[in-house]
Amino acid sequence: MRFELIMPEALHSVWPYVKVGLERVREVTPERWLAEDIFAHIRIGRAQLYLGYDGTQCRGFFITENKRELFSNVPYLNVWVLWAEPTIGEHCAQVDGFIAETIAFIDACAKKVGAQWISWEGRWGWAKYLKDYFKPIKVRYEREVSYV
């Protein structure tokens, strides 16, 4: 997999694709955000959009936020949304083949911003893919960033 950071000024060129993925996420999760909320956060630099490519074919995307823990002010990276092209039925993607590469890339993003951990909120269905990488906290997965 190859990942590309989409700069805020280039968001319009990929937004139709991303918006479809975001709407698919909302169909199967109880998310309260609108696609337009995410658009706004990316445009003003409060969130980062990465597209994932298999060769020249876009296979999905993820969106991160650089955040700080409320009480300690410690920096962490939040994975806000991850969406992959459906390969099994209408909503299900076969992620086994690329989850390790995606996590490694997200780790690198976290290190680049000095994050102490990575958080990821999602459906329980992610547990089978994230069990080797994250520890579930409620339905929030967390992983410490290793600088070794």
DSSP assignment of 76-93: EEEEEEEEE---BTTTB-
Q: What is the pLDDT of residues 86-96, one digit of tens each?
A: 665 555 555 66
pLDDT for residue 99: 77
Cα–Cα nearest to 18, from 40, 35, 41, 32: 35
pLDDT for residue 85: 78
Ranges under pLDDT 50 in the chain: none
Contact 13, 62 (CB under 8 A): no
Half-sphere exposure of 133 (CA within 13 A, CB side): 21
pTM of the predicted model as reported, rounded to 2 decimal places = 0.82
